[in-house]
């Protein structure tokens, strides 16, 4: 299970007692849900337990007035995982859907290998109703990191306008990348046995644009203004 899916399920359990006092409102990245998620991510990064609790309360209030958003079917997410990535062939793929306290999440992942010791795993997670929760699972989303040395590098960056966090260690030939796509999906990639150039080439082949068309899937149709 990816970090975003785990965060979604943990938060769902925490918020199980929240009631629905207000009329339903859509949950999107510009809503109070997204704001609360970003505050929670910052508090987690700072290690401020008190602020994490306050942000969680704010998240509960926001979700109490939100409608259910059905996560994209994991089979659809699996179709977005290519057969190969820059010379690495897909050797396995799987998907799953989980649901706790009425809040569902879906995940698809695939493993790629080059037959020479190079390996890469890519996972796509959709947290459905908890759109905007990405900041909970990826606390780096509100900070800037830029480190580089003989051992490798670590940096926050953007990929075609999408916030991302990239790391690479030369000694172990281990690379990691997290990207928030369409304000709803978390794409996580991890490689072993690939040099830095091969890692960069592989992640450049991940077609994040295909997720954009799924941004509103599963969300209720907007209500016409009276």
Confidence of residue 72 (pLDDT cuts 50, 70, 90): very high
d(CA 77, CA 85): 16
Structure tokens at 123: 């996972």
Evaluate whether residue 181 is within a structural domain.
Answer: yes
Evaluate whether residue 204 is within a structural domain.
Answer: yes
Hey, how many other C-beta atoms are within 10 angstroms of the C-beta on 93?
Answer: 15
Evaluate whether residue 201 is within a structural domain.
Answer: yes
Structure tokens at 81: 């995982």
Supply the pLDDT for residue 131. 54
- The residue range of the domain holding 62 is 1-16+23-217
Evaluate whether residue 224 is within a structural domain.
Answer: no
Where do the DSSP E strands lie in 135-217? 146-149, 152-159, 162-169, 174-181, 185-192
d(CA 63, CA 16): 10
Evaluate whether residue 148 is within a structural domain.
Answer: yes
How much is the average pLDDT of 39-47? 53
What proportions of the chain, in percent to the nearest 5, are helix, strand and coil? 30, 30, 35
Evaluate whether residue 36 is within a structural domain.
Answer: yes
**Tens digit of pLDDT for each residue in 171-223?**
999 999 988 888 788 888 999 999 988 888 888 888 888 888 888 887 776 65
Supply the pLDDT for residue 190. 93
Supply the pLDDT for residue 54. 66
pLDDT higher at 167 or 47:
167
**Tens digit of pLDDT for each residue in 88-125?**
999 999 999 987 666 678 899 999 999 999 999 999 98
Number of domains in the chain: 1
Give me the residues paired with residue 154 across strands.
Answer: 147, 167
**Tens digit of pLDDT for each residue in 120-168?**
999 998 877 665 554 444 566 677 889 999 999 999 988 888 888 899 9
Evaluate whether residue 223 is within a structural domain.
Answer: no
Query: What is the CA angle 171-173-176, rounded to 5?
Result: 120
Supply the pLDDT for residue 206. 84
The count of residues in the chain is 226
Evaluate whether residue 184 is within a structural domain.
Answer: yes
Half-sphere exposure of 12 (CA within 13 A, CB side): 20
Write down the pTM of the prediction: 0.70
């Amino acid at each position: 299970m990816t970090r975003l899916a785990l965060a979604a399920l943990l938060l769902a359990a925490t918020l199980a007692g929240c009631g629905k006092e207000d009329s339903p409102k859509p949950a999107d990245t510009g809503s109070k849900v997204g704001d609360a998620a970003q505050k929670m991510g910052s508090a987690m990064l700072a290690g401020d337990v008190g602020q994490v609790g306050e942000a969680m309360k704010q998240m509960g209030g926001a979700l109490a007035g939100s409608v259910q958003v059905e996560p994209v079917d994991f089979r659809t997410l699996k179709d977005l995982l290519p057969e190969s990535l820059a010379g690495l062939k897909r050797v396995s793929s799987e998907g799953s859907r989980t649901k706790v306290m009425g809040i569902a999440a879906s995940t698809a992942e695939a493993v790629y290998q080059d037959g020479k010791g190079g390996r890469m795993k890519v996972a796509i997670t959709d947290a459905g109703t908890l759109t905007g929760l990405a900041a909970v699972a990826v606390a780096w989303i509100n900070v800037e990191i830029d480190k580089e040395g003989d051992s490798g590098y670590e940096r926050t960056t953007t990929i075609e306008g999408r916030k991302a966090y990239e790391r690479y260690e030369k000694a172990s030939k281990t690379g990691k990348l997290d990207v928030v796509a369409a304000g709803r999906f978390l794409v996580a990639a991890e490689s072993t046995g690939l040099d830095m150039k091969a890692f960069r080439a592989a992640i450049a082949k991940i077609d994040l644009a295909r997720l954009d068309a799924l941004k509103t899937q599963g969300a209720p149709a907007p209500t016409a203004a009276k």
